[in-house]
Structure 1
Amino acid sequence: MTGPSRLRRPIDAGWAFREAHSEQPFRPVAQFPTVNHLDLMHHGLIPDPTKDTNSRKVQWVGEREWIYKTTFDFAARNSSSRSGSNSSEHARNVRHVLVFEGLDTHCQIRLNGHLLLRTDNMFLEWRIDVTDKIYDGPNELELHFESTFLVGKKLEKEQGFKNLYWNGDSSRMNTRKVPCHYGWDWGPTLLTAGPWRPIYLESFVTRISDLGIDVEVADTLDRAVVTATVEVEGEGGRDADRRSILLELFDPAGDKIAEGKAEDAKAYRFTVHKPSLWYPLGYGKQPLYTLKATVEGGVDAMSKRFGLRLTELVQRPMPGQKGLTFFFRVNNIPIYSQGTDWIPPDVFLPRMTPARYREWLTWAAEGNQNMIRVWGGGIYEDEVFYQTCDELGILIWQDFMLGCGAYPFHEYLERSIRAEAEYNVRRLRHHPCIVLWCGNNEDYMFAEIHKLQYDRHNHNPEDWLKTNFPGRYYYEVTLKEVAETLAPRVPYHLSSPYGGAYSNDPTVGDVHSWRVWMADQPRYPYQDYEKLTGRFVSEFGMKSFPCARTINALISDPRERHPQSDTMDTWHMAPEDQRTIAMYLVDNLRHGDDIESYGWATQINQAESTDYSTRAFRRLWRGPGREECAGCLIWQLNDCFPAVSWSLLDSMLRPKLAYFVSKRTYAPLLVGATRRVTETKRNEFTHVDIERRTHAEIWASNLTLSPVEADLEVTFVGLTDGAQVQRSVNPVTLEPNRSTELGNVSFPASHQDRPTALVVHVRLLERGGQQGVLARYTEFPQPLRHHDFSHAKVSLKPRGDLSWVVSVSGGVAKAVELIVDTEDDDVADACVFSDNYLDLVPGDEQIITIDVKDKAKAARDSLVLKERHYGQQT
């Protein structure tokens, strides 16, 4: 007999809110899902926190309680059967479940005045059976949100000690809320509350509660075994009344290639011969299969898209090197991982849409990023984030949401963290993009720096709980068990960073390379990044101002648009930011003091730092047995709020100059030059009788899977006059998937006594006289502030089809930024440059194109470009 299908009714209409314990009337919400700040802004009760100094004015919101309520109609007769089915005998077995995909965070749920549940974890889905509590007719649903900040403070007081932490507030360590909502060194303190993900009522007799998909690809890559496990809830899930489940497997074209039947919780295996394998961006295509499970009688169905791929984390000794490798291998291909770290993309999470997620991730993919690390102080992202990464081929390093502190251990907290991990691993484990689960962000590093009671050689969990670093239990027991049980083919990493004799050991595991920017004085110059590497560099970066248009849009008072204004202070989220940026600027660049000049200089500084780091790290990917550095992830891709931050794109999705540098250094082919000086002393004591000889080390990197035959051109060019002093061209072969050292080239004898007058311009050219440029790089004498760039004259010549020829005469041009000459921000934002932030030498023209998005279509035929470059005369 056919039973009733599962019916899902969204509860997304009629919502109203108000501050609890107040005389304020209930007001309609701005959208749904929602959080309190969005609704308060909508009604003009608070100003927009992103503008001016408004974030200071709204801090009271996080210490209040908030009520959300709505009324929804329910008719039992319409939920017990579907049209045309005879299911009266099943009506008594129909269950009605309220589903809350996300509540932020401590919430009392009431239905028709009855308390159903108190929630305490923002990262969990909550399901409440209301079959015996729901009325036939109108029902009132009320959500009473407590102040998570005050809840955390009370819990901290009860435990009798203050939690140790970096960033935010100590109370965050007792709550399962987005850690960065408490404030971070790139984001504000804005403690939201509300129903931040969808709510609906499910009615069913039987439903599929989980569809597990395990993929085992043979080492030979010619066969894959897909194991499906279906868990059923309700009538069909009873041992005495099991239902069979039809499983159907569809290939990437949508054609059914196999089917079979299984029982609830029983595994069923499909064998796929000659599978279409899923590859990371740059290594192949991203075909996705579909598995559909249907309960007997069609009462419920679930389908998931997934990829077939073999993934490994390779940690093995290297000949002649200390420690172990740390690289990912996908379908037997060693992958050089290059990308960024990801924070929550909006401080008010319900504002995120599938279109905004795709826009962020498209910037990453078009910037040649093949990996993103979802950082452990944010959220387990929305399903659409991972779906988009599956489609784009972006690998995901997924942290669990703990970070930057010594978490207390309580049984209730352990239960909550375990439930959170189980829910999110089950939810996300089918995505081929996820290649690593990681226990936390920087907690072992925190324990070492603050000299907590942490003995890495003590493997007794009961002992850990007696120390002031009991959170170790979560990483080495709770999360490890969940990850290895529910997603056994994806490796689990205890922390980031973690490995070796200490957490940030450069010879084992991954490192966070913060001796540039973050370390205590004296900080390293960014030119020293080649000394600050590791087997996998999962965090590093340099802060900069947002784009000038973003600053002008969000600071309304022109008098506050200067670098040291009170308003700009609110955009510096860490107390040392102003001084640190100023130090790096004074060390490297001449710059103006108005906000546009100063902000632009910070972006140049970030761009140069990005070049020195990513180029040096990639050089160390030297091939099999020499994987000295296997990846670099720039901190960070995105912003959640206007800030002076490490992001490559600011909060309005406007690319900073460093974005274009990373796009080039992440390209499949890369060429580099490093200036070296050797000294010969006449005697061991002298400070003056020293002979100095300068040469350039030349190297290239080929991340493709085939050898590249090219001509290597090395030219020494006068920095101030652009004259060609010396040029050589030699054939070279770049072996696949590695860097190749191409030898040393001495500076011309005429300039050995003044090498800083020259730049080294290196190009990889197509072999055979075609002379197409495969890669280029210009190496400058450092620091830039010592040199005169005012003689360069940049020319922009349109050549049709929205492309321009960019060239220079009179000298070498540094940091050429191309700008659409318009006052219309929508037009400017809709014009995406193929490249930008160019270094130019005479005789090497570059062609730049613009991709015009919809908002600028009307202006495409009249676009005019202008440029600015470092050191130009005004």
Structure 2
Amino acid sequence: MYNSQPLISGWTFKQGNLISKTEYLPANDLPTEIHLDLLKNGKIPDPFKDLNELSVRWVAEETWTYRTTFSSPPDHGKRGVRTILKLGGLDTFAAVYLNGKLLLESENMFVEHHVDVTNLIGKSAEEDSLEIVFESARDEGLELVNKHKEHRFIVHQTEISRGPVRKAQYHWGWDWGPVLLSCGPWKPISLETYVARIEDVWVEYELSDDLEKVKGTVFVRLEGAGNVKAVIKKDSQVVISLGAFVQAESQSGVLSADFEASDITLWCPRGYGQQSLYNISVTLYSTKTSTSSDATVLDRTQKTIGFRKVELIQESDTYGTAFYFRINNVDIFCGGSCWIPADSFLTRTTPSDFRSWIQQAADGNQIMVRVWGGGVYEADAFFAAADELGILIWQDFAFACANYPAYPAYLASVEKEARQNVRRLRNHPSLIIWAGNNEDYQIVERYGLEYNYTEDKDPQSWLKTNFPARYLYEYLLPKIVKEETKGVPYHPSSPFGNGTSTTLKVDSTVGDIHQWNVWHGTMEPYQRLPRMGGRFVSEFGMEAYPHLETLDKCITRAEDRYPGSMAMDFRNKAIGHERRLISYVAENFRIHYDLAAFTHLTQVMQADALSWAYKSWRRDWGKRGNRKCGGVLVWQLNDCWPTMSWAVVDYYGIPKPAYYAIKRALEPVAVGVQRKVADWTVRPADELWQRDTSHIDMRKVWEEVQFDVWVVSSKTEKLKAELVVRFVSVKSGKECLSELRKEVQIEANGTTDAYLNHKVEIPDLQDPKTAFDTSKADPFVIHATLNIEGKQVASDVSWPDPIKYLTFPDRGVSVFYLEDESVVTVACEKPVKGFVFSEKQGVRLSDNGFDVVPGEKKEVHVVGCKTDGLEWRYVEM
């Protein structure tokens, strides 16, 4: 029977190649990588602390050798038994030696290798030796750039050496992560023995129009020969038995069996039904029939699948061309986030870590996670967690922000990489789209590379241009996806319009967009985000500091713990962050420069920015047939090291207030209220200087207020609710205008506008010809609540921005606890902006970073600490 013997322990490593005289040191158990092994032996400082990243750069310049010895597996040498060395992944330029002889050379960390060693091991009384020599990826990359002068290598974020190297691109550093070019056996290594084995199992199927029946085929790829039997189970109960496997057409070594079933239970996204999963159990028997009493079991394997129907809707409508997903005949607004690797050192992320991250996305009402192209094809545990929790996965192929080559050896390596990973992931129902790359077409437009989408349709001609990677994104990768999987859409890039020169950049009428004119680009005020959306916003973001506990862990010297210190600035990798972050904070809040206060302000500012975006763009979901915006994915969910960045959850899994702002905006039923903001960029200059000192028209904010209130629902049935809109004085906490109250018929799976351009007339504070005396003004918040069957299900607050123009005398804040200290309640006498509990690792809150209005109590459930141990802060406390 098939057997796998892991080669986990007993590894050593040294600096240099095989003939170097340096000492071997004990390595971690596999999988591992060089920085972690150097840390284990005290040879480098922790690169995640202070400026230590600079102290370990030398590691990437060296050659490193790993070594172990092993005994032959028990079945090795028996008649008909093959012994295979399986190398799950080698990072990256690796030469593998068995008993001193070269066995394999690899140049792609994303590729798995299987080498027949049947006749190469167990030839002496001594144990066999396995050695792997890893060369510097940076040096090898520079050599490849020099070798292939026919190609114009362009890379953003990092140096040019990453361009031709099939390695996780973020290892070269990014604008949120360190330069830590690691190497090593980053995936398991094992010895496999078998007469015959099951190499792969997958299912292709179609659902009937009413989704009640499924018709499909189970495919089994074999090495060797035998009889195959399979059963499909749900909750341990057999629902389909398959015994008549036959040779599949045009697929050597592949057997197949058709099946049909009724009354199947669908796999549904979170919030739209059950995440029903089926188990396929496949057994391989010897060439005797599987029903014979003396039949031998040669191998067994299991796969988990779910039945669902996926459509990427790109139909013409009043806004241009739609871009949204329809799952099981239901339109799905895909609110969620982008994912980068959870650690600079990939081997530290465990299956339970992946589960925790996906659970955190789900708990935050997110329904989609986009796996960014500069990282890796994530582990099976990542996708298994998404399958179980109903999170939709958008998977980029591993290309990001570069003009990649397409010489023959590179194409062959990419094809192998792509086929292996598409095959590995194709059974996961959570995986609903493959995209060719991240932002590579923006490189095309920025540098004027050759690209004629409408006229040049010959893939071979693309290889002769200075943008040969078009061959990858528009021919090879979609071909592989089509051949290796079924029912999963392919998108050439993120972002991508329809391929014409006017839609490679941000275009709100077609495709997906990355909206970076807030923070990057023109650095627009984030209050303009509502009208900066698109058909699907797959990236946008705003930076903030993590909580103080995280900063304390990575900035170890007290004298460095202030905004703008060298250690702080070094850790923030975002280009121009010194100006950009302070600009956005100062534009909206009164600046306080002690670390705790400044951290708080950045967090509230980030939460406000993301709230403007999620609320408004979800509002654009509209109705079926008129979906202006199909999804919003913030850049980014997580960090790969402790830092200040666009992440809404830091490296240690501690959410920033922005995480909760997204959670509130993505509730199944949510209410939004928003003032109209005057746009100073389109008004005459003479009017501008007379009336404004900022991007906000203060007279309109405090004297003549116009606002919208809307309700969004992901529920598939219509609802009735009571909407209440209150106007509460910031100064006194009293209601300064009569409340509005109405019954709302909430549209199913769509947007319902309750008040459009509703104007509140307030008597002029002064004659317009005299000075504007803010001391006589009475600015107010607009507080909207939505009640269904007498229970409040959603609320929202609109403030007169910018907050820095307001004064905050004593707010009358009350914080009290249940006796068991598991629930904390916050109330106030006057409106409170940005109430934030300081979170720590291991603590979980149901809500944080919220505004509080008199007459409403905020109840927060707490896990991981006693509620009376929480510290908090709010704006101008």
Match of 1:761 among 783, 794, 804: 783
Question: What is the match of residue 872 of structure 2?
Answer: 867
- How far is 1:790 from its partner? 3.5
- How far is 1:159 from its partner? 1.3
User: Aligned partners of 1:184 and 1:14: how far apart in 2?
Assistant: 34
User: Aligned partners of 1:809 and 1:441: how far apart in 2?
Assistant: 46
- CA contact 2:76–2:82 (8 Å) conserved in 1: no
Match of 1:248 among 231, 241, 259: 231
Question: What is the match of residue 736 of structure 1?
Answer: 748
- How far is 1:450 from its partner? 1.8
- How far is 1:23 from its partner? 3.7
User: Aligned partners of 1:225 and 1:381: how far apart in 2?
Assistant: 30
Bigger shift: 277-286 or 502-511? 502-511
User: Aligned partners of 1:409 and 1:593: how far apart in 2?
Assistant: 50
- CA contact 1:53–1:567 (8 Å) conserved in 2: yes
1:655 aligns with 2:665: no
Amino acid paired to 1:575:
I
1:347 aligns with 2:344: yes
Amino acid paired to 2:759:
S
User: Aligned partners of 1:555 and 1:506: how far apart in 2?
Assistant: 41
Match of 1:8 among 4, 14, 26: 4
- CA contact 2:843–2:863 (8 Å) conserved in 1: yes
- After TM superposition, the structure 1 = structure 2 runs for residues 435-474 of structure 1, keeping only pairs within 5 Å, are 435-457=432-454, 458-474=456-472
- CA contact 1:527–1:612 (8 Å) conserved in 2: yes
- How far is 1:804 from its partner? 4.1
Cα deviations across residues 380-419 of structure 1 (Å, max 9, x unaligned)? Answer: 0011000000000000001100110111121000000000
Amino acid paired to 1:835:
D
Question: What is the match of residue 83 of structure 1?
Answer: none
1:850 aligns with 2:840: no
User: Aligned partners of 2:622 and 2:75: how far apart in 1?
Assistant: 66
- CA contact 2:171–2:180 (8 Å) conserved in 1: yes
Match of 1:780 among 799, 814, 839: 799
Question: What is the match of residue 309 of structure 1?
Answer: 308
Question: What is the match of residue 164 of structure 1?
Answer: 154
Cα deviations across residues 243-268 of structure 1 (Å, max 9, x unaligned)? Answer: 22112111244445423231352321
Question: What is the match of residue 632 of structure 1?
Answer: 632
- CA contact 1:100–1:198 (8 Å) conserved in 2: yes
Structure 1: runs of 5 or more not aligned: 81-90, 237-242, 821-827
Match of 2:510 among 497, 508, 511: 508
User: Aligned partners of 2:535 and 2:642: how far apart in 1?
Assistant: 33
Amino acid paired to 1:708:
L
Match of 1:259 among 218, 221, 242: 242
- CA contact 1:99–1:125 (8 Å) conserved in 2: yes
Cα deviations across residues 165-195 of structure 1 (Å, max 9, x unaligned)? Answer: 1112211111100000011111111000100
Partner SS state of residue 815, structure 1: strand
- How far is 1:707 from its partner? 1.4
Amino acid paired to 1:220:
D
Match of 2:56 among 43, 55, 58: 58
1:219 aligns with 2:201: no
User: Aligned partners of 1:807 and 1:721: how far apart in 2?
Assistant: 18
1:338 aligns with 2:335: yes
Question: What is the match of residue 86 of structure 1?
Answer: none
1:811 aligns with 2:830: yes
- CA contact 2:812–2:829 (8 Å) conserved in 1: yes
- How far is 1:685 from its partner? 9.2
- How far is 1:453 from its partner? 1.5
Amino acid paired to 1:531:
R
- CA contact 2:246–2:255 (8 Å) conserved in 1: yes
Distance 1:116 1:751, change over 3 A: farther
Partner SS state of residue 339, structure 1: strand
1:365 aligns with 2:355: no
- How far is 1:459 from its partner? 1.4
Match of 1:426 among 423, 426, 430: 423
Structure 2: runs of 5 or more not aligned: 248-253, 286-295, 692-698, 767-773
- CA contact 1:244–1:263 (8 Å) conserved in 2: no
- CA contact 1:803–1:847 (8 Å) conserved in 2: no
Match of 1:128 among 115, 120, 123: 115
Match of 2:103 among 103, 116, 130: 116
Cα deviations across residues 497-551 of structure 1 (Å, max 9, x unaligned)? Answer: 00134223221110001110111xx421111001210100000000111211111
Partner SS state of residue 128, structure 2: strand
- CA contact 2:670–2:712 (8 Å) conserved in 1: yes
Amino acid paired to 1:376:
G
- How far is 1:758 from its partner? 1.1
Bigger shift: 455-464 or 742-751? 742-751
User: Aligned partners of 1:59 and 1:816: how far apart in 2?
Assistant: 41
Amino acid paired to 1:701:
V
- How far is 1:577 from its partner? 1.4
1:746 aligns with 2:751: no
% of aligned pairs identical? Answer: 36
1:796 aligns with 2:792: no
- How far is 1:686 from its partner? 7.5
- CA contact 1:340–1:369 (8 Å) conserved in 2: yes
Cα deviations across residues 104-133 of structure 1 (Å, max 9, x unaligned)? Answer: 011000010110010011001111111111
Question: What is the match of residue 406 of structure 2?
Answer: 409
Amino acid paired to 1:101:
G
Cα deviations across residues 727-780 of structure 1 (Å, max 9, x unaligned)? Answer: 12211111110011102433253578888701100000124xx3x211000100
Question: What is the match of residue 707 of structure 1?
Answer: 718
Question: What is the match of residue 282 of structure 2?
Answer: 293
Question: What is the match of residue 565 of structure 1?
Answer: 565
User: Aligned partners of 1:790 and 1:598: how far apart in 2?
Assistant: 20
User: Aligned partners of 2:189 and 2:828: how far apart in 1?
Assistant: 63
User: Aligned partners of 1:678 and 1:10: how far apart in 2?
Assistant: 65
TM-score (norm 2): 0.91
Partner SS state of residue 444, structure 1: helix
Match of 1:103 among 90, 94, 105: 90
Question: What is the match of residue 273 of structure 2?
Answer: 284
Partner SS state of residue 200, structure 1: strand
Question: What is the match of residue 288 of structure 2?
Answer: none
User: Aligned partners of 1:622 and 1:549: how far apart in 2?
Assistant: 41
User: Aligned partners of 1:494 and 1:179: how far apart in 2?
Assistant: 19
User: Aligned partners of 1:552 and 1:179: how far apart in 2?
Assistant: 29
Partner SS state of residue 793, structure 2: strand
Question: What is the match of residue 823 of structure 1?
Answer: none
User: Aligned partners of 2:778 and 2:190: how far apart in 1?
Assistant: 67
TM-score (norm 1): 0.92
- CA contact 1:251–1:257 (8 Å) conserved in 2: no
Amino acid paired to 2:748:
P
User: Aligned partners of 1:533 and 1:61: how far apart in 2?
Assistant: 43
Distance 1:752 1:375, change over 3 A: farther
Question: What is the match of residue 199 of structure 1?
Answer: 189
User: Aligned partners of 1:511 and 1:276: how far apart in 2?
Assistant: 35
1:378 aligns with 2:365: no
1:599 aligns with 2:599: yes
Aligned residues: 826
User: Aligned partners of 2:258 and 2:868: how far apart in 1?
Assistant: 57
User: Aligned partners of 1:266 and 1:393: how far apart in 2?
Assistant: 31
- CA contact 1:212–1:228 (8 Å) conserved in 2: yes
Question: What is the match of residue 177 of structure 1?
Answer: 167
- CA contact 1:498–1:505 (8 Å) conserved in 2: no
Amino acid paired to 1:295:
L
- How far is 1:574 from its partner? 3.0
CA RMSD across the alignment: 2.1
Partner SS state of residue 8, structure 1: strand
Distance 1:308 1:801, change over 3 A: farther
Amino acid paired to 2:850:
L
1:92 aligns with 2:92: no
Distance 1:684 1:299, change over 3 A: closer
Cα deviations across residues 127-178 of structure 1 (Å, max 9, x unaligned)? Answer: 1111111125511000000111111100111112661111122111111000
User: Aligned partners of 1:749 and 1:547: how far apart in 2?
Assistant: 41
User: Aligned partners of 1:143 and 1:527: how far apart in 2?
Assistant: 54
1:273 aligns with 2:262: yes
Cα deviations across residues 302-331 of structure 1 (Å, max 9, x unaligned)? Answer: 21000011111111111x33x211111111
Question: What is the match of residue 239 of structure 1?
Answer: none
Distance 1:74 1:468, change over 3 A: same
Match of 1:189 among 179, 191, 196: 179
